[in-house]
Amino acid sequence: MSKDTIVIREIEPQDNAELEQVIRACFHEFKIPLEGTAYADEETPKMYESYKKDNETYFVLDCNGEILGGGGVKPLKGFEDDICEIQKMYFSPAVRGKGYGRALFEKCLQVSKEFGYKKCYLESASQLKAAIHIYDSYGFTHLKEALGNTGHYSCGVWMIKTL
């Protein structure tokens, strides 16, 4: 991959199928429950269409036309308007450990501030230890219970950060 060009860009309609494959593969790889997680979300097969409202966006990692991951920002469902959620951040093994996840995460944090959110929330699964370590390193603190109404009852890690 050293000669390949990887860019972070906003999602486009043609990205849906590849991105869905990346997201779903992570659940099987890390043995994360399929129910009560992003795996079962109605929006997972149609990510482009699911991030079109004001104050929300989704970014993908594009390597010469191949989608290798992504992550997005939306208002936290069922909660205050000034709290966003970073969601559906998943990556192909081909790009893990190379700094692309951090770069995309930073882009999500930056756009959250630009949208005017005051706090950023996220949920994760305990199996995703590398991701949780990154969230910790950016100053996210652990919560004892979920916020909002995400429907992700199988996620056992809840974190928040003041922007």
Amino acid identity of residue 25, one-letter, is A
8 Å CB contact between 67 and 18: yes
The pTM of the full predicted model, rounded to 2 decimals, is 0.93
Report the candidate in 157, 132, 154, 131 with the shortest Cα–Cα distance to residue 143.
157
CATH number at residue 16: 3.40.630.30
Supply the range of the domain harboring residue 106: 6-162
| Domain assignment present for 1 | no
Number of independent structural domains in the chain: 1
Question: Which pLDDT band, with edges at 50, 70 and 90, does 1 fall under?
Answer: very low
Report the candidate in 106, 73, 67, 69 with the shortest Cα–Cα distance to residue 87.
73
Chain segment 77-126, per-residue pLDDT in tens: 887 789 999 999 999 999 999 999 999 999 999 999 999 999 999 999 99
Report the candidate in 88, 67, 72, 87 with the shortest Cα–Cα distance to residue 19.
67
| Domain assignment present for 79 | yes
Q: Is the pLDDT of residue 151 over 90?
A: no
